[in-house]
Chain A
Amino acid sequence: MKLEYDLVIIGGGPAGLAVALEAEKNGVENILLLERDEYLGGILPQCIHNGFGLQYFKEELTGPEYADRFITQINNHKVDIKTETMVVKITPNKQIIALNRNDGLLCIKARAIVLAMGCRERTREAIAIAGSRPAGIFTAGTAQRYINIEGYMVGHEVIILGSGDIGMIMARRMTLEGAKVKAVLEIMPFSTGLIRNKVQCLDDFNIPLKFNHTITRIEGRKRVEKVTITQVDKNLQAIFGTEEEIHCDTILLSVGLIPENELTKEVGIRLDPVTGGPVVNENRETEMEGIFACGNVLQVHDLADYVSEEGEIVGRAVTKYLIGKRSYRLQSVKIIPGENIGYVVPQHIDFLVPDRKKIKLFMRVKKPEERVRINLIDDKGQCH
Chain B
Amino acid sequence: MKTDVVIIGGGVIGTAIARELSRYRLDITLIEKEDDVAMGTSKGNSGIIHAGYDADFKTLKGKLNIKSNLKFDKLCADLKVPFKRIGSLVVGFNEKDFNKVKDLKVNGEKNGVKNLEIITGDKLFRLEANLNPQAKYALYAPSAGIISPYELTIALADNAVINGVKVLLETEAKDIIIEKGQTYGILTNKGLIETRVIINAAGLYADEMAKLIGEDFKIKPLKGEYRLFDKQWGSLVGHILFPIPTKLTKGILVAPTVHNNLLIGPNSYQVEEKDDLATTEVGINEVYSGARKLVLHLPHQDLVASFTGLRANIEGRDDFIIEPSKKVKGFINVAGIKSPGLSSAPAIAEMVSDILKEVAKEISPQLELNYKDNFTETLSDQPRFTEYADKIERWQEIIERDSDYGEIICRCEKVSKGEIIRAIHQPVPARSLDAIKRRTRAGMGRCQGGFCSPRVLRILSEELKISSLRVTKKGEGSEILTSKTKDMIKETGVKFKDEVRV
Contacts and interface: CB of A to CB of B under 8 A. Distances in A.
Interface in A293-309: none
B420 to A, nearest CB: 14
Contacts of A99: 395, 399, 406, 408
B414 interface: yes
A135 B449 CA distance: 12
A219 B280 CA distance: 11
Contacts of A36: 408, 411
Overall SS of chain A's interface: mixed
B501 A104 contact: no
Interface string A159-184: 00000000000000000011000000
B482 A155 contact: yes
B454 A104 contact: no
A195 B141 CA distance: 60
Contacts of A88: 392, 408, 414
B393 interface: yes
Given A125-B305, A149-B454, A223-B479, A130 B411 contact: no
Q: Size band of the B side of the interface?
A: 35 or more
Overall SS of chain B's interface: mixed
Given A100-B406, A130-B280, A177-B485, A150 B454 contact: yes
Interface stretch (B45-53, B57-65, B468-476): B468-476
A132 interface: yes
Interface stretch (B106-114, B180-188, B199-207, B271-279): B271-279
A258 B273 CA distance: 37
A265 B395 CA distance: 23
Contacts of A265: 232
A151 interface: yes
B478 A101 contact: no
Given A36-B411, A153-B501, A177 B486 contact: yes
A123 B307 contact: no
A154 B482 CA distance: 5
B450 A132 contact: no
Given A132-B277, A153-B483, A223 B477 contact: yes
Given A102-B403, A125-B306, A142-B453, A135 B474 contact: yes
A100 B278 CA distance: 40
Interface in A83-133: 84, 86, 88-89, 97, 99-105, 120-121, 123-126, 128, 130-133
Interface string B433-451: 0000000000000111111
A139 to B, nearest CB: 5
Contacts of A223: 477-479
Given A120-B446, A142-B453, A216-B281, A104 B408 contact: no
B362 interface: no
Nearest to A155: B482
Contacts of B279: 130-131
Nearest to B468: A152
A151 B447 contact: no
A351 B479 CA distance: 58
A117 B265 CA distance: 34
A118 B223 CA distance: 39
10 contacts: A84-B407, A101-B406, A105-B399, A139-B450, A145-B454, A146-B454, A151-B484, A152-B469, A152-B485, A156-B501
Given A125-B303, A130-B283, 9 more contacts: A120-B450, A126-B303, A130-B284, A139-B450, A152-B482, A152-B484, A218-B278, A219-B278, A223-B478
Interface of B: 232, 275, 277-281, 283-284, 303-307, 392-393, 395-396, 399-400, 403-404, 406-408, 411-412, 414, 446-451, 453-454, 457-458, 468-469, 472-488, 491-492, 501
Interface of A: 36, 84, 86, 88-89, 97, 99-105, 120-121, 123-126, 128, 130-135, 139, 141-142, 145-147, 149-156, 177-178, 216-219, 221-223, 249, 262, 265
Instruction: Please name the 5 residue pairs, one residue from A and one from B, whose CB atoms are nearest each other, closest first.
Output: A151-B488, A222-B477, A135-B473, A86-B408, A135-B478
